[in-house]
Amino acid sequence: LAKTTQPISMDSYEGQEVNITCSHNNIATNDYITWYQQFPSQGPRFIIQGYKTKVTNEVASLFIPADRKSSTLSLPRVSLSDTAVYYCLVITFGNEKLTFGTGTRLTIIP
């Protein structure tokens, strides 16, 4: 599985857009990029998944450049409830063995 590198922590003010970047230099052709969110004392929650270019759902966007060696999770207009740890994962399709990176601890400041 490809190894991911993320910033350890980030702070942002309420109402701002937050971008969390993940590096995955050795991503393989069949790999997909996924992001999970985890609150204290809870299991991770799936946010978004993508393969290339841009993917958007009701809570986030995922930007993936053409070389796919990095990706950016974008959270629009964050609120205090977005304070959590965000994990970037690269998954080989068909491999259910999720290997989480160290994650980014996002703190939203009122």
Partner 1 sequence: KAGVTQTPRYLIKTRGQQVTLSCSPISGHRSVSWYQQTPGQGLQFLFEYFSETQRNKGNFPGRFSGRQFSNSRSEMNVSTLELGDSALYLCASSLKRDTYEQYFGPGTRLTVT
Residues of this chain that interact with partner 1 (CB under 8 A) are 32, 34, 41-46, 49, 87, 89, 91, 93-103
Nearer to partner 1, 54 or 77 (CB): 54
Nearer to partner 1, 13 or 35 (CB): 35
The tokens of 12 are what? 């942002």
Nearer to partner 1, 91 or 108 (CB): 91
Query: Considering the complex, what minimum distance in angstroms separates the CB of residue 55 from partner 1?
Result: 12
| Residue 61 CB contacts under 8 Å (≥ 6 apart), including other chains | 48, 54, 55, 73, 74, 76
* β-sheet bridge partners, residue 104: 86
Q: What whole-number distance in Å separates Cα of residue 72 and Cα of residue 18?
A: 10
Query: Considering the complex, what minimum distance in angstroms separates the CB of residue 72 from partner 1?
Result: 18
Query: Considering the complex, what minimum distance in angstroms separates the CB of residue 44 from partner 1?
Result: 5
Query: Considering the complex, what minimum distance in angstroms separates the CB of residue 26 from partner 1?
Result: 18
- Strands 53-56 and 61-64 come out as antiparallel
Q: What share of the chain is helix, strand, coil (3-state, %, to 5)?
A: 5, 50, 45
Nearer to partner 1, 102 or 107 (CB): 102
